[in-house]
Structure formats: C-alpha cells, structure tokens
C-alpha cells in the first residue's frame, strides 16, 4: 500500500463516521458531508491503487528488459 491508498481509506472511514454521527444527531448536513468525504476517500484510494499497479508493471518491464 502506498500513502494515497492509506490516506484514502482513512478519509473514507472518516466519512462513514460523519454519516453515522449525522444520522444519530439528525443532522442532514453532517451526513451529506460524510458522504462527500467517503466518496473522496474511495477515489483517492483507487488512484493510489492505480499508481501502485502502474509502478509495479513498470518495474516488471524493467526487470524483464534487464534479463
């Protein structure tokens, strides 16, 4: 896992907590903010996964060329 993946997962979790808090306190604005945070976190984690996979693919290509 890289930094973007970890931060994305943390942000998504923060969003879920905000949603639950918004539901518990009947605060629709907090709930909606949590939804936005969760989506942003999942997006960041996905971008991190893609970056990691591209890096691994480039590394594999480099290793294959060296042989």
Reading the chain (67 residues) residue by residue, the pLDDT tens digits are 899 999 999 999 999 999 999 999 999 999 999 999 999 999 999 999 999 999 999 999 999 998 7
Please say whether the beta carbons of 24 and 43 come within 8 A. no
Contact indicator for 14, 57 with CB cutoff of 8 Å? no
Report the pLDDT value the prediction gives residue 66, as an integer from 0 to 100: 84
What's the chain's Rg over C-alpha atoms? 17
Spatial separation of the C-alpha atoms in residues 14 and 33, rounded to whole Å: 10
Total count of domains within the chain: 1
Domain encompassing residue 49: 3-66
What is the spatial distance between Cα 58 and Cα 45, in angstroms, rounded to a whole number? Answer: 20
Euclidean distance between CA atoms 31 and 17, whole angstroms: 9
* pTM given for the model: 0.84
């Amino acid at each position: 896992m890289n930094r973007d993946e970890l931060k994305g997962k943390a942000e998504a979790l923060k969003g879920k907590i905000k949603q639950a808090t918004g539901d518990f306190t009947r605060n629709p604005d907090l709930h909606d903010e949590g939804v936005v945070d969760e989506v942003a976190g999942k997006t960041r984690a996905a971008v991190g996964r893609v970056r990691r996979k591209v890096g691994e693919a480039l590394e594999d290509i480099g290793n294959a060329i060296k042989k």
